[in-house]
Structure 1
Amino acid sequence: MKNVMILSGAGLSAPSGLKTFRDHDGLWDNHNVMEVCSATAFRKNPQKIFDFYDTRRAELAKVKPNHAHEMIAKLKEKYTKNLFIITQNVDDLLERAGCAEVTHLHGFLPELVCMDCGSIFDIGYESQRGKICPKCKSLNLRHNIVMFEEQAPMYSVLYELLKQTSLFVCIGTSGAVLPVGHYARMCEKSILNNLEKDEKLEAYFDKCYYQSAELAIDQIAKDIEDFLRAA
């Protein structure tokens, strides 16, 4: 059986009520990206970044997985070894939908990292304030999020899995951060799902659905199952 990769971006979680960064009235409208999400800003004023992500965790606590998250979880359960789940999102909505083995390219919002011993631990949706490392008791902690100007170590996993992928499915990402058109060309077949039409990006894909992830996911799931059955 051939392998399928689902790579998701902010558009997957937007129907749940999480603001995307680049959309109108998104997070970038209210924040200067380089002041809250860059390594330079973190060195200058770490508390400002901590407060930003404390707010993001509090917002995450108020939302629930949507139908798209749930359908992806069902597909992963059915095709455990042949379906790779990769996301640019730092939320835990895929996990809360029951999805196993999710690779988070840019980190995971519910987690903190100890900058003294390197331990990673979960704080759920709580504030970072007052937290200590459960291993070494250090207060020198940070969010487990890849910031601008930092390397993303999980990209190596992405590229290794792409080599094993026959059907590439891209859900809810504009391609502004990752060259998803190039990824599509690396694979035998490809599907794109975005809310807005993008003719330049569309040229790289075999099939495109321009609607919310919640509305498109049932047809995408059928496409995936048809592909895997044919393989």
Structure 2
Amino acid sequence: MDKIVILTGAGISAESGLGTFRGAGGLWERKRVEDVATPEGFARDPQMVIDFYNMRRGKHREVQPNPAHDALARLQAEYGGEVVIVTQNVDRLHERGGSAGVIHMHGVLDGLLCNACGFRWDWPFERKLDLETPCPSCGAGPTRPDVVWFGEMPYFLDEIETHLSGCDLFVAIGTSGNVYPAAGFVQIADICGADTLEINLEASAVSSGFARQLRGPASEVVPAWVEDVLSNRA
């Protein structure tokens, strides 16, 4: 087994104190998706959207990577083969945990995107988002968070599919299986001959598509799984 592709979702960051989007206490219990996570919502009330993302960014400053993030960084460092991490999360906790080359298919909270020309640039969590911030490339505004909203196309799909088609093992960690195209990644990997593993608290909407499942908190199950992989690799 030389190439592992890992997809992570909100469940891996939940134990760091970041709310998942669905279920009790989820972000969408407090705000309507249509209001804060769609281009139409931004067009209707950009200030409300900016306020919502400033709240999220403030929360992200307070949290730390958990043992699951640390374990994946260790896997990348010690595995010997290629380990590609694709994440639906926008929190940067993988990088803070030591992982490299993370593919952010839904964007990042510490970045801005120009609605006019599509230019992207970094905007550290310490700085508040402001509708008056002009695009450094074209000078237009208002700018928006560099996150993929509902109804928009995720980033890097061609690159991700290339990785999936050439991997030996595909692992999904903390994903709901409700959001496409990510929910279809297991099918691509399976068709291309890869082994497949789901790590989650409970069955996802696409659990039946995986050859194997491990159940439990990511901060416990992922480090144990990584230890097993590295032990068998030695």
Please name the residue that 1:161 is paired with: 163
1:4–1:224 contact (8 Å) kept in structure 2: no
Query: Deviation per CA, 1:121-143, whole angstroms, max 9, x where unpaired?
Result: 22221211253444455443111
- Aligned pair 1:222/2:227, yes or no? yes
Q: Secondary structure at the match of 1:7?
A: strand
Please name the residue that 2:145 is paired with: 143
1:167–1:188 contact (8 Å) kept in structure 2: yes
Task: Give the length in aligned residue pairs.
Answer: 228
Measure, in 2, the Cα distance between the counterparts of 1:167 and 1:226: 16
**Aligned AA for 2:217?**
S
**Aligned AA for 2:41?**
A
Please name the residue that 1:85 is paired with: 85
2:112–2:121 contact (8 Å) kept in structure 1: yes
Query: Deviation per CA, 1:93-137, whole angstroms, max 9, x where unpaired?
Result: 011111110001111011012334433222221211253444455
Measure, in 2, the Cα distance between the counterparts of 1:181 and 1:163: 10
Q: Secondary structure at the match of 1:160?
A: helix
Query: Deviation per CA, 1:45-99, whole angstroms, max 9, x where unpaired?
Result: 2222111111110010010000111111111123476111100001110111111
Query: Deviation per CA, 1:207-228, whole angstroms, max 9, x where unpaired?
Result: 211111101012321344367x
Please name the residue that 1:197 is paired with: 203
Query: Structure 1 81/188 Cα, relative in aligned 2: closer, same or farther at 3 Å?
Result: closer
2:8–2:173 contact (8 Å) kept in structure 1: yes
Aligned equivalent of 1:207, options 208, 212, 220: 212
Report the TM-score when normalising by structure 1. 0.89
Query: Structure 1 181/140 Cα, relative in aligned 2: closer, same or farther at 3 Å?
Result: same
Measure, in 2, the Cα distance between the counterparts of 1:109 and 1:6: 21
Query: Structure 1 104/80 Cα, relative in aligned 2: closer, same or farther at 3 Å?
Result: farther
Report the TM-score when normalising by structure 2. 0.88
Q: Aligned-residue CA RMSD in angstroms?
A: 2.1
Q: Secondary structure at the match of 1:179?
A: helix
Ranges in structure 1 where 5+ consecutive residues have no aligned partner: none
Measure, in 1, the Cα distance between the counterparts of 2:80 and 2:89: 21
- The Cα of 1:183 is off from its aligned counterpart by 4.0
Measure, in 1, the Cα distance between the counterparts of 2:33 and 2:116: 27
Measure, in 2, the Cα distance between the counterparts of 1:114 and 1:37: 16
1:15–1:214 contact (8 Å) kept in structure 2: yes
Measure, in 1, the Cα distance between the counterparts of 2:39 and 2:138: 24
2:167–2:189 contact (8 Å) kept in structure 1: no
Q: Secondary structure at the match of 2:206?
A: helix
Equivalent runs, 1:1-231 vs 2, <5 Å: 2-79=2-79, 82-125=82-125, 126-129=127-130, 131-177=133-179, 178-186=183-191, 187-198=193-204, 201-225=206-230, 229=233
1:184–1:204 contact (8 Å) kept in structure 2: no
**Aligned AA for 1:193?**
I
- The Cα of 1:18 is off from its aligned counterpart by 0.1
